[in-house]
Structures are given as structure tokens and as C-alpha cells.
Amino acid sequence: MARKIFTFMRGASDRTADATEALGFKGANLALLASLDMPVPPGFTVSTAAWREAANLRGGLPQPLRSEINAAVEWLETVTGRKFGGNEKPLLLAVRTSARTQMPGLAETVLDVGLNDATVETVAIELDDLSFAYRSYRRFIESFAALVYDADPGAFEEIADEEAEASGRSGDPQTREEWRRLIARYHAFIEAEYDAVLPQTPLEQLSMVIEASFASWRNPVARSHRVLHGIPENAGLAVTAHAMIFNERDRNSGTGRAVSRDLRSGEPRLTGEFWLGGRERAEIGDPVGSWPLSDLIADGGRPAGDWFPADAAALAAHVRRLESHVGDAVEVDFMVGDGELFFLQSRTARRGAGEAIRVAVELVKEGLIEEEEALLRIDPASLDQLLHPTIERTTDLPIIGRGMPASPGAATGEIAFTSERAEALAAEGRPVILVRNETFPEDIHGMHVANGVLAIRGGTTSHAAVVARGIGKPCVTGVGALRINLEDETLQAPGVILRAGDMITIDGSSGEVIEGRVELKRPSLIGDFATLMDYADRARRMRVRTNAETPVEARAARAFGAEGIGLCRTEHMFFEGDRIRAMREMILAPDGDGRRLALEKLLPFQRSDFIELFEIMAGLPVTIRLLDPPLHEFLPKGDAEIAETAAMLGIEEGVLRQRIAKLEEFNPMLGHRGCRLAISYPEIAEAQARAIFEAAVEAGERAGEAVVPEIMVPLVGMRKELAFVKERIDRVAQLVAAERGRSVHYQVGSMIELPRAVVRADTIAEIADFFSFGTNDLTQTVFGISRDDAGNFLSTYYRQGIIERDPFQTVDADGVGELIALAVEKARRTRPDIQLGVCGEQGGDPASIAFFEQTGLDYVSCSPFRVPIARVAAAQSAILERRATRGGTGVKGRSRA
Ligand code: PEP
Ligand code: MG
């Protein structure tokens, strides 16, 4: 039978490598520290395999496990020279529970297992400290009862208060008799309340604690944590028992947390804190009870303060050695008992993104790690913290709802339920959060002026989410707990009603909605940020472009290092002011001539927009996509807008309503959109092509260097669709060339966002210079899940474990990803030099970027604020890919996605 219990002591442990799944993170970490010859209290871990067996049996600990526990305790008795329940030098244990990762709801630590009515006296004599021994015993009974009987700690406190009052004192019992009376009342309470007797046999105490700790796996808090984080139900927990350290006894004891570096400067220097034990600490003049460890080591490792009760140089040396073993800044929890130092826990030092970069760059400068290693240390997604304001998380925040983290960063401001209101508030210089059920193209001006956007409905690729990310505004979508009542202008959350003008805060990085104003931390791009980005640029293979339409976005993206525009959604250029009017005129025109006339009004706007984009991108590639969305998106909504538009067009309101009704579709996402528009109304594509070519010629003349635009046709499913549109584009190019007397260079390519386009990628590639995977629509069409409605039910899918990640955020490697790989293979077969990129939201997602690297795409394109993230993620993927290839397989495997 396989062993289920693993022991550890300084210099020796049964298991260390990759042990977190078997030993829980606490047990695994103690085993690691022990194996590194760091002083740890000796002990043993009851593994997750034991938990699994007991959980399957459902009733008590199985007999073989009990025997193994007994044997482990005997071993511990031998190595400590103590006896569990002994009447001389009793062995006491601390029992800690952990799963492979931190999990709320699991059993709390139980200290001093092994104390009973007899051993408490022995300990009192051994330590010559009656009060300490009994305080420990009382605490043991309280935590044992809380864990095993689910007792309320408050009940014990009440008993203690009653006893104190009866004895006419305040605080703890003073004499042995008083202590014994209190303990007797605890026993009586447990008997009366839980019909149980507090076990006096240490082994029985231990197995009951282990059994109850096992059962804590079923705690509802733990269970919902697992669902949320996709942790399997049978992963299980482990229970670690180790010899007690009396860290709270006297000034020869204490508890500390040390970090191997000063995280702000990156310097290798012990930092952290130490809390002296015992009641004397206040007498030493330290009311708070903690000392900064940075004061501890003076020159040459000599202790600078006589307050530290252990060997300070040894502490520093151990932490330094652990750091070099891990190759990263570490943080340790340690204890001092009777002047002796013990380590209990270590982890890579927790730090914000800024500190992480600082330390990584510093480690490279010190020659401790390579640039590539430094890059791998950074969580690309965490860079967000540096690019957007974040919430100062000091106190408990009044969270009134949780939704999708749709666009990162935090924002705080007054609630505005309409874009008009948002504009009015912003004009007064007041911070605004635009709160809508969902946003529409006409909300874009409101989104621009708002500090953040809250859309009650929708997912991470809904209109609100995509636009907000594009313009770098924090956004939360799909918050089921909130309701907007537009009649009385309120936002209702369970137990709270907020009105227009009330302050609200959203965290687009976590999806939280918070009542009231919250302090925000401003973004700071420290110098090391640039250094890290240099490392990334040296390491990566894929290029990183941006999705941008406006000059503001394009400039921001350039500042973040974008290497061109991978997607310019031209429809976003038609929403503002005069443009939307001309646009409506075009859409509502009765015939082609009317449309052409209206398009002529739009031409100058578009041309100047494109010129500006070309100039900002200064020679870098710019991909401009022809109009994509269904036309009805641009139509007037509501009576007022309809009346205004009818007046502008000089037609009856009734006629206008009829024309609008004609454009209505049952399923616009699969309706008259994409290249279908260009095929029904070629004049639209022609006008756009003209604007692009004229802008390219002009920008090229100004710069003295040819601009080569890339024109992209959306929603292509058939080669003939692309051929039809390309023919129009080519014709316009010839016209412009003739008019301007100069040749016009350009490329024409296709979005790949429909399954049919994937399957026919080889034939489509014959007439395309490039492909760009539109993974938003491709995900939508492959899954048959509406990207605008997915938020409503995907959360249930996570809970039920059906999907692990939102496929609209992270590419679904097995399904959508397989199709992308197929298209890549087919396209390169007929056109080896075809340029391949991705411009869906997944293009800025680190896990997806790893997949795109493996698939061999040439570039990813993402919203401006994700460009730095994509640069680092692309670098990491390239590094890992190179290592995997060098590692001997020689194959570009996709299995790691
Ligand atoms: C896509 O579908 O992935 C895409 C980039 O286009 P849009 O989001 O504009 O439909
Ligand atoms: Mg699309």
C-alpha cells in the first residue's frame, strides 16, 4: 500500500519536488525548507491521497491511516525526545491544513494538540510558567471545539468573563485553582452543549482534528472558491502536524516575516517585521509590538539591536540562500522560541507589478538571472496595474455587485444614466461613470467623456467592452445583481438604491462595482518598465500591433510600443457630430445615387482621419477595415432622434419609420453586415477605398515615403465575396493613381472570422495578401454563442465546470484554435508569404498569445493599453517555445496551450 504520510525535519524530508498537490502548499513548503537544511520544526504531513481515501469511505479515519499516524507520532517522539501525552517533556503539536493553493473556508490551525488536564501541569512545571501553560490549554480547547464541534468562540469568552467577575478580577485567572475552575467550566459547557467529552488522549485529539480538517473541504466557502477557480472537487487537502514552537511566551520568542529584498529599490537587504513574544514587549518601549527587520543587520551581519532574541546573521543567511535557490525575491514566515529560530513558510515575495519589474531588472543587473528569466518572472496581465489607476485596497469596500472585468482600471465618479448627462457633468469638470443597460454606437461620446463605464448587460466583447478597451476606459459589464430604473433614475442593488449623481466606483480589472467614492492610485511608469520592454522586444518573434481608430488611441498605442495598426474599425469613425448625420443620410438614401451623394460628404472626414493615422504610425503598417456592422446600428433611436433625422432628410416621419423598419433584422450579427454590405452597396466600399488611397498618397507625399495601406474585408466566407470587393478596390486604386499621376501601393486581405473562411482558407489565400483572424466573430460563429449575450449564461458554465475560461477572452485552443491552425496551414500551402495576424480581443490575452505563437502567426493586434502586456506575453511565449524546441522534441507542439 502506498504511503500516505510524509515526514520532515531539518536536513531531511520524504518528498519535496512538485509536492504541493500531495502535501498541500504548507506541507510541501515545509518539506522544501527542511530539504534545504533550514531550521524547521520537525513534523509530518497527512497527504491528499489520505484525504481522498477517507473522503471516499465517508466515516472516520480508516484504520490503516490511524496506524500510519501513530507511527509518524512515534517517529516525532524519537526526533524531539518528547512524548505525546507524556508526564515529563510532553510533545505538543501544531496542526495546519492546506490545499495546493490558498483556499478560504478550510480548517484553521489548531495549536497545542496534546495538552490535557495533566500535560498542562507538566508544561507549567517544565517552563516554570503556569499562566502560559494554561493560556495555551484554554486556546487549544477553544479552537478544538470550534473545529470539531463548530462551537462559537464567543461562548467561551462569556464563560471566562463570568469566571473573572465571580473571582472579582479582570483578565486571566491568577492562580492554579482559578485556572482549573475555568477549564472545568469549559469541559462542562462542551458536555452540555455538544454532548461530548473533550478527549484527554492526545492521539485521539489528533485524529479528531485531522478528521474535522478533512471535513472542512466540504465547507461552502471552500466549495465556491473551487468552482470560481476551476479547482477539481477531488483535489483534496493535506494536514500537516509539527512540533509546537512557543513563539509567544517571553522576550526570548517572537514571530516574524522577512523579505529577502527591499522591494522598492530591488536591493538585496533583509526587510520585513518582527513581533516580539511575551507580555514584556510593551515594557521594552514598543507599543505596536513590531520592529522593522531592516534595522536588524548592521554592517557585516552583526545584530544592530539587542531586541532580536535569535541569531540575526543566521536568519539573513538562510533567507539569502533560499533566495538564490529560488532565484527570486522570497518572503518567509519565521518564529523564535526560546531563542531558537524556525522557518514555517516561504513564498516568492508578494509584490505589485512595479516592484516585480524592479526586482527582476535588478536581478539581471546583479547577474543572478538572464533577461529571459526576468521576463518569465513577470505576470504580463499584472502590467495593467501600471497602466491604469487602481483601487487603494485599504479597507473593506462596500461592493454592491460583481460583473465581467471588461476593461481594466478603476474609476470613480457620479452616476449618469445617459450619455448627454455624462457630457453635461464632464463639461462641469465632474468625474462621471456612465451607467447603461448596454451601450450603443451613439453612446460613444458619453463613453469618451466618462471616467468609466458600467453596462449592466453584456459580456467581454459586447459593444461597451470593446469600445471601452479601445479608448482605455475602465468598464464593467454583465452585473446580474444590479437593475437600472430609468423612470426614477435609480440604480438598484440588493439593499441599496443609488440615484443619478450619487458617487460610484467600478474596478474594470476585477469586475467589482462599489458604492461611493474610493481613493485611486495613479499609474506610474517607472524606468525599469522600459528596460523590461527592451528585454521583451529582444526576445519575441511576433510583432505587436494595435486596434485603433482615433488619433488619441493611435498615439497611446505608439507610446506603448505598438508596431502598427492591425485593425482600424472604420465604423467607429462615423459616430460623431456631423458624421453620424451624413452616415444616416447615406443609409436612408432611397437609391444608389442618393447614397453616393451622402458618401461624398463622408469622404473628407475619412480621408483626414486616415492621413492622421498614417502620420502617427509613420511608416508602420496600417490595416483599415471596410465598414462591418449592420447599418441599422447607425439609425436614429427614440422619437426625438427620428423627428430630427426626418427633418434633416426632408421626409415625413412615417416614411422614415418605414425605411428604418425595412432595415430591421431578426439576427443582425448574422445578417446584413461585413462584406455583404460592400456587395449590396459597392459604392460604400468604393468610397472608403478612395478615402484610403487619397490619404495614402497625401501622407506619402508629406512624408516623402510611400505609405502602403492594408485594406481588410470583413466577414468573408467565400472566395468570390473577397474577389468581388477586391475588384472594386483595385479599380478605385487605378482611378486614384490616374488622377494623382502616381502609382498607389496597397495590400488587400481578409478577416477570417467565419468557419467557412477557415475551411476555404487555401483558395481565399490565393487572392489575399494577408489574413487577420477575427477571433471575436470566429468564437461566436464556431460556438454558435452570441458574443453580446454570452455574459448572461457563461458564468453558469464556469460554475458547473463546463468551461474554464471565457472563450471570448482566451482563445478556445481545442475548438476555435484548431480551426485557426487549420486556416494557417491551408493559407501557407497556397501562399507561403501570406501575412497572418489576429485582431480579436484574444490578441491581447497572454494565454491566447502563447497559442498564437505556437500556431506561428506573424503578429497580434490588441487595444492600445494591452500592447505592453502583449509584448511581454509574446516574448514569454517565444522563449518557452524556443526552450521546448531546444528541449529535444524539435516539434512546434500545440499541446501546451
Ligand atoms: C472580430 O470579430 O474578432 C473582430 C476583430 O471584429 P469585430 O470585433 O469588429 O467584429
Ligand atoms: Mg468581426
Tens of pLDDT, residue by residue over 393-431, are 666 789 999 988 888 889 999 999 999 999 999 888 899
* Domain membership flag for residue 367: no
Which residues are catalytic, by number?
Answer: 463, 839
Q: Assess whether 396 and 453 both reside in one domain.
A: yes
**Distance, CA of 154 to CA of 173 (rounded, Å):** 18
**Distance, CA of 869 to CA of 874 (rounded, Å):** 8
**Distance, CA of 495 to CA of 472 (rounded, Å):** 32
Q: Assess whether 704 and 744 both reside in one domain.
A: yes
**Distance, CA of 460 to CA of 749 (rounded, Å):** 27
Q: Using alpha carbons only, what angle is made at residue 297 by residues 295 and 299, rounded to the nearest 5 degrees?
A: 115
- Phi, psi of 276, deg, nearest 5: -70, 145
Amino acid at 125: I
pLDDT band at 124 (very low <50, low <70, confident <90, very high): very high
**Cβ–Cβ < 8 Å for 591, 680:** no
Q: Locate 383 and state its grid cell.
A: 502590467
Q: Assess whether 779 and 715 both reside in one domain.
A: yes
How many Cβ atoms from other residues are within 10 Å of residue 740's Cβ? 14
pLDDT band at 887 (very low <50, low <70, confident <90, very high): low
* Domain membership flag for residue 272: yes
Instruction: Return the CATH number at 454.
Output: 3.50.30.10
Q: What is the mean pLDDT of the chain?
A: 90
Total structural domains within the chain? 4
Ion ligand 2: residue ranges with CB closer than 5 A: 753, 774, 777
Q: How far is the CA of 774 from the centre of ligand 1 (A)?
A: 5
* Domain membership flag for residue 659: no
Tens of pLDDT, residue by residue over 453-498, are 999 988 777 788 878 877 778 999 989 889 999 889 999 998 899 9
Say how many Å lie between the first and final Cα of the chain, rounded. 36
- The predicted pLDDT at position 462 comes to 76
* Ligand 1 closest atom vs CA 776: 3
- Atom 9 of ligand 1, residue of closest alpha carbon: 569
User: Which of 200-204, 299-303, 807-811, 812-816 shows the lowest per-residue confidence on average (mean pLDDT)?
Assistant: 299-303
Q: Assess whether 231 and 85 both reside in one domain.
A: yes
* Domain membership flag for residue 686: yes
Q: Is the pLDDT of residue 834 over 80?
A: yes
What Rg do the C-alpha atoms of the chain give, in angstroms? 33
Of 350, 376, 406, which residue sits at a domain end?
Answer: 350
Mean pLDDT of 424-453: 89
Q: Assess whether 713 and 737 both reside in one domain.
A: yes
* Domain membership flag for residue 466: yes
User: Which of 204-213, 388-397, 554-563 shows the lowest per-residue confidence on average (mean pLDDT)?
Assistant: 388-397
Q: Assess whether 471 and 555 both reside in one domain.
A: no
Q: Locate 806 and state its grid cell.
A: 471565457
Domain that holds residue 231: 5-243
Q: How far is the CA of 709 from the centre of ligand 1 (A)?
A: 19
Pocket test for ligand 1, best of 633, 670, 751, 852 (most atoms within 8 A of CB): 751
* Sheet with 496-499, edge to edge strand ranges: 483-485, 490-493, 496-499
* Domain membership flag for residue 190: yes
* Domain membership flag for residue 358: no
- Atom 3 of ligand 1, residue of closest alpha carbon: 774
Q: Which ligand is nearest to the CA of 716?
A: 2
**Cβ–Cβ < 8 Å for 590, 635:** no
CA-based nearest residue to 537, from 717, 380, 747, 375 = 375
Q: Locate 339 and state its grid cell.
A: 531563542
Helix (H, G, I), strand (E, B) or coil at 129: coil
- The predicted pLDDT at position 525 comes to 61
* Cβ partners under 8 Å of residue 682, min gap 6: 725, 728
- The predicted pLDDT at position 504 comes to 97
Q: Assess whether 142 and 279 both reside in one domain.
A: no
Q: Using alpha carbons only, what angle is made at residue 632 by residues 449 and 665, rounded to the nearest 5 degrees?
A: 135
**Distance, CA of 262 to CA of 843 (rounded, Å):** 35
- Atom 6 of ligand 1, residue of closest alpha carbon: 774
Q: How far is the CA of 789 from the centre of ligand 1 (A)?
A: 16
Q: Locate 717 and state its grid cell.
A: 466566407
Q: Locate 380 and state its grid cell.
A: 504580463
Instruction: Return the CATH number at 163.
Output: 3.30.1490.20
More confident residue, 181 or 275: 181
- The predicted pLDDT at position 283 comes to 45
- The predicted pLDDT at position 294 comes to 67
Give Dmax (Cα) for the chain: 109
Instruction: Return the CATH number at 276.
Output: 3.30.470.20
Of 298, 320, 350, which residue sits at a domain end?
Answer: 350
Q: Assess whether 258 and 238 both reside in one domain.
A: no
Is the overall model pTM greater than 0.85, yes or no? no
Most confident of 207-221, 347-361, 795-809: 207-221
- The predicted pLDDT at position 480 comes to 84
Of 471, 491, 521, which residue sits at a domain end?
Answer: 521
- Phi, psi of 348, deg, nearest 5: -65, 140
Q: What percent of the chain has pLDDT over 90?
A: 64
pLDDT band at 291 (very low <50, low <70, confident <90, very high): low
- Phi, psi of 478, deg, nearest 5: 60, 55
* Domain membership flag for residue 312: yes
Pocket test for ligand 1, best of 626, 776, 783 (most atoms within 8 A of CB): 776
Q: Assess whether 423 and 483 both reside in one domain.
A: yes
DSSP lists the bridge partners of residue 145 as: none
* Ligand 1 closest atom vs CA 840: 3
Q: Assess whether 83 and 213 both reside in one domain.
A: yes
Q: Which residues line ligand 1 (CB under 6 A)?
A: 567, 569, 628, 753, 774-777, 839-840
Q: Assess whether 150 and 175 both reside in one domain.
A: yes
Q: Assess whether 264 and 191 both reside in one domain.
A: no
